[in-house]
Structure 1
């Protein structure tokens, strides 16, 4: 099974423009993320996909591989679908460019879904981690996910789900980590599926699959890391890096 890690990297992030080029321990965030993904040793190739000359130059200057995106895209998965169309690959792991603490353990669990699925039943898998901090649970920047008994996603939301209606039983909350593993055919399908109302409202690309009746296998990990969505996140990352 040929597996690539692909890192969508857009310069103009809405909440923190230019965040991928911010310094983290002497290198840009995107370079740190590239190096972390490559350092896991799990992938045949690690590729940054970007429409930004500045990001491309930073990654290639650090010895990384880049594919320049030629189109305007609504989501990172759309950007990857353009890049992967002509590549010979079985599984594509979408590593978010703002996750410089990407590590081997979680990604290996994600890839195990496909290694244990020789019939090719699962098209898409993603990561989740339990959260207990009330601020994280209420934070709309923290995407929550609920699953069925087999671990397939039922819904993703920026709102706290499930809703704690009574004192007991205590709700368990899971944060969706924006790392996806696609079979190539599923990623290409994503590009051809128009955005539907729930995705448009929540601005969560994984919902598109659910709205079209597809299944997403969720894999729990205890590794939280730090996703750099805001300047405050960057400061936390800098503190953790040292």
Structure 2
């Protein structure tokens, strides 16, 4: 199968304008994401999808591949679908443009179930929550899965809720058995093209989590467990943290 990774990248950001072009050890952040994605074993091609000429030019400058998209897409998935409609491939990987330390092995882990089972339309990742603050943070999305590792639900609330040992959570968050969702997605190309056309759903709107649309319309999402950690950049302070990790490595 042919696997294409697409990295959506917008210049506009409420908390961090120009984030994809922020300098990180002498390179724009989007270059770190691109180069790490290229290292994934299962990926055949990497494309940055952007609506900003500055990002497009930066990707061209470091030798990457970029495409310009419409600027009126409400979500990154819509931007992916626009690009996917012109591609000849089997699987599309959505790699977030604010993950400069993304481990290529995480991409491989998410993709392989779809390579092995043609019935799976969509896949993603989860990792155990080790910090009690993340258990309670609405900014950390949690996921619960069935016995075959298909998603049952995604939520900004703590799921599952540890009724019998909630007070112990701060001392031992791993005892809760909660998992953090990692926002890396794999789609079959045809499914991705159709996905934005699905009507928005009540749970999706309530939680403001787009992946719930797929579940509410009856599609299954394979969720692979990983112990690898991602370090997303939402603010300039996050970028300083990532810079410190690179300097100490």
1:51-91 deviation digits (Å, cap 9, x = unpaired):
01111111111101011112411221111001110211100
Q: Does 1:229 align with 2:234?
A: yes
Kindly tell me: are residues 141 and 148 of structure 1, through their superposed partners in 2, closer, same or farther at Cα, counting changes over 3 Å? same
Mapping for residues 1-242 of structure 1, pairs under 5 Å:
1-117=1-117, 120-167=118-165, 170-242=175-247
Q: Does structure 1 conserve the Cα–Cα contact (< 8 Å) formed by 2:41 and 2:108?
A: no
* TM-score, structure 2 normalization: 0.91
* TM-score, structure 1 normalization: 0.94
2:111 is paired with a residue whose SS is helix
What stretches of structure 1 move > 6 A for 4+ residues in a row?
none
> Using the alignment, how far apart are the partners of 2:16 and 2:161 within structure 1?
29
Extract unaligned runs of 5+ from structure 1. none
Q: Does structure 1 conserve the Cα–Cα contact (< 8 Å) formed by 2:98 and 2:234?
A: yes
> Using the alignment, how far apart are the partners of 2:157 and 2:242 within structure 1?
25
Kindly tell me: are residues 199 and 14 of structure 1, through their superposed partners in 2, closer, same or farther at Cα, counting changes over 3 Å? farther
> Using the alignment, how far apart are the partners of 1:198 and 1:74 within structure 2?
18
> Using the alignment, how far apart are the partners of 1:171 and 1:189 within structure 2?
37
> Using the alignment, how far apart are the partners of 1:40 and 1:90 within structure 2?
16
> Using the alignment, how far apart are the partners of 1:139 and 1:229 within structure 2?
15
> Using the alignment, how far apart are the partners of 2:58 and 2:52 within structure 1?
10
Cα drift, residue 14 of structure 1: 3.5
Extract unaligned runs of 5+ from structure 2. 169-174
Q: Does structure 2 conserve the Cα–Cα contact (< 8 Å) formed by 1:42 and 1:104?
A: no
> Using the alignment, how far apart are the partners of 2:115 and 2:86 within structure 1?
23
> Using the alignment, how far apart are the partners of 2:136 and 2:162 within structure 1?
12
Kindly tell me: are residues 15 and 204 of structure 1, through their superposed partners in 2, closer, same or farther at Cα, counting changes over 3 Å? farther
> Using the alignment, how far apart are the partners of 1:159 and 1:18 within structure 2?
30
> Using the alignment, how far apart are the partners of 2:114 and 2:185 within structure 1?
12
1:58 is paired with a residue whose SS is helix
Say what the alpha-carbon RMSD is for the aligned residues. Answer: 1.6
1:139-175 deviation digits (Å, cap 9, x = unpaired):
2221111111111111111122122211189421111
When structure 1 is superposed on structure 2, of 14-23 and 85-94 the one drifting more is: 14-23
Cα drift, residue 124 of structure 1: 0.4
2:176 is paired with a residue whose SS is coil
